[in-house]
Amino acid sequence: MKKVELKGIITPIITPMNEDETVNTAELRNQVNRQIDAGVHGLFAFGTNGEGYILNGAEKQMVLETVIEEAAGRVPVYAGTGCISTKETIEQCKMAQAAGADVLSVITPSFAAASQEELYQHYKAIAVAVDMPIVLYNIPARTGNALAPATVERLAQIENIIGAKDSSGSFTNILSYLDAGKKADGNFSMLSGNDQLIIWTLTAGGVGGIAGCANVYPHTMASIYDLFAEGKIEEAKAANSSIASFRACFQYGNPNTIVKTAVSLLGYNVGKCRAPFNQVPEAGIEALKKVLKENADKGMH
């Protein structure tokens, strides 16, 4: 199995699209280099911000292969391989392994309600099927299924399940997962999926975050981890707090639609999110323009 240290700020890189909604691989390469040049510590292909929920299997493979090729080993590449069924998830995991991904991020199944035992058996079967590091991905507001801390404790005992990303928005849940990892064998890393909780996750013993806002502010987001690692805790807290005005714009639409729109407003040819998740009202556009200018004037990038 690949040995990959989970750490830092990992960008769930957006998937640029042309006007006809095909994937714009040239701009995807540009975004890969923009992110790495800004100092992020990893890239996560077709996560929530990468619209993995709306890409087909062939598109996911193309996106992943493009990101891996362009990253060229400079940072680890994570692949969002979770699907609703165990069978399709394993197929996607094997695709990602063949493509050369470093880590698998496996979201919980969605739509149909799953018991904790069903979730445990789902992840266990995936772990047996692929010899790769796996990060659990908990985002119950989107999937309808939450991984209980007790289930995380059981899963953390499986050798290649090496960590979890929690996007529940609950710091209490992050702390519960951290405790679950320690009870298992201690060899379990915690990543915040909520950008505002990254510094607090780090201070509690976590290792970083998968940060959608890094698509807009890669340098600022990467600095949260870098400053923390240097012992500059107050500066790291300030960097984390600096994204609050941008996150306030999430009131105008789906957060990943807002993020992609913001990157487009910065002048990058990333296109819109795939329909129907592509609408931002004029008030939202104006708010974004205002916030982007204010933050640029502060030196955020």
DSSP string for residues in 64-114: HHHHHHHHTTSS-EEEE---SSHHHHHHHHHHHHHHT-SEEEEEPP-SS--
Residues facing 138 on adjacent strands: 166
Residues facing 190 on adjacent strands: 164
Task: Give the separation between CA 299 and CA 238, rounded to whole angstroms.
Answer: 13
Rounded-to-10 torsion of CA 164, 155, 107, 142: -80
User: Can the peptide bond before residue 276 be classed as cis, meaning omega within 30 degrees of 0?
Assistant: yes
231 Cβ partners below 8 Å, 6+ apart? none
Catalytic residue numbers read 137, 165
How far from the centroid of its chain's Cα atoms is residue 184's Cα? Answer: 24
Task: Give the separation between CA 131 and CA 165, rounded to whole angstroms.
Answer: 20
